[in-house]
Structure 1
Amino acid sequence: MIPGISRCCLGALALGLLWAVPAWAGGDAILDPAHTRLGFELRTRWGQRLEGVFPRYEGHVRVLPDGQHQVQLRMFTRDVEIVGYPRYTEWARGSHFFESDRYPVVTFISRPYSPQLLRSGGELDGDLSIRGISRPRSLTVQATTCARPAVDCDVVATGTVRRSDYDMDDWKLAINDRVVFLLRARVQDGARQ
Structure 2
Amino acid sequence: MRERRPHPARFLLPCLLAFWPAWAQETVAAPEPPVVSASSRTFDPHHTRFGFELRTRWGQRVAGVFPQYEGEVSTLADGRHRVRIVLRTDGVVVAGSDRYTALARGPNFFDAQRYPYIEFVSEPHPDTLVRTGGRMRGRLSMHGVTRMETFTLSRPECDEPGRDCDVIASGSISRDDYGLDGWQFALADRVRFMLRVRLVETAP
TM-score bracket for the superposition, by shorter chain length: 0.7 to 0.9
Matches of 1:34 and 1:68 in 2, distance apart?
26
Structure 2 residue 126 is matched with structure 1 residue 114? yes
The code of the aligned residue for 1:157 comes to A
Structure 2 residue 102 is matched with structure 1 residue 90? yes
* Aligned-partner SS, 2:199: coil
* Aligned-partner SS, 2:185: coil
Unaligned 5+ segments in structure 1 are 1-24
Would you say the 8 A contact 1:122–1:143 is kept in 2? yes
The code of the aligned residue for 1:85 comes to S
The code of the aligned residue for 1:119 comes to R
The code of the aligned residue for 1:58 comes to E
User: How far off is 1:42 after superposition?
Assistant: 1.0
Structure 2 residue 132 is matched with structure 1 residue 127? no
Matches of 2:83 and 2:50 in 1, distance apart?
13
Report the counterpart of residue 193 of structure 2 in structure 1.
Answer: 181
Structure 2 residue 60 is matched with structure 1 residue 48? yes
Matches of 1:48 and 1:107 in 2, distance apart?
27
State the Cα deviation string for residues 120-154 of structure 1 (Å, max 9, x = none): 11000001111110000010001114221111110
Would you say the 8 A contact 2:38–2:76 is kept in 1? no
Runs of 4+ that moved beyond 6 A = none
Structure 2 residue 149 is matched with structure 1 residue 140? no
Matches of 2:130 and 2:155 in 1, distance apart?
6
1:64 to 68, 76, 99: 76
TM-score of the superposition, structure 2-length normalised? Answer: 0.79
User: How far off is 1:173 after superposition?
Assistant: 1.1
RCO comparison, higher one (Cα < 8 Å, 6+): 1
Query: Could you say what the CA RMSD is over the residues aligned between the two structures, in angstroms?
Result: 1.4
Report the counterpart of residue 16 of structure 1 in structure 2.
Answer: none
The code of the aligned residue for 1:109 comes to V
Call closer, same or farther: CA 1:26–1:64 in 2, change over 3 Å. closer
User: How far off is 1:59 after superposition?
Assistant: 1.7
* Aligned-partner SS, 1:87: helix
1:158 to 146, 155, 170: 170
Would you say the 8 A contact 2:140–2:147 is kept in 1? yes
User: How far off is 1:26 after superposition?
Assistant: 6.5
Alignment of 1:1-80 (within 5 A): 27-80=39-92
* Aligned-partner SS, 2:39: coil
Matches of 2:78 and 2:96 in 1, distance apart?
45
Aligned length: 168
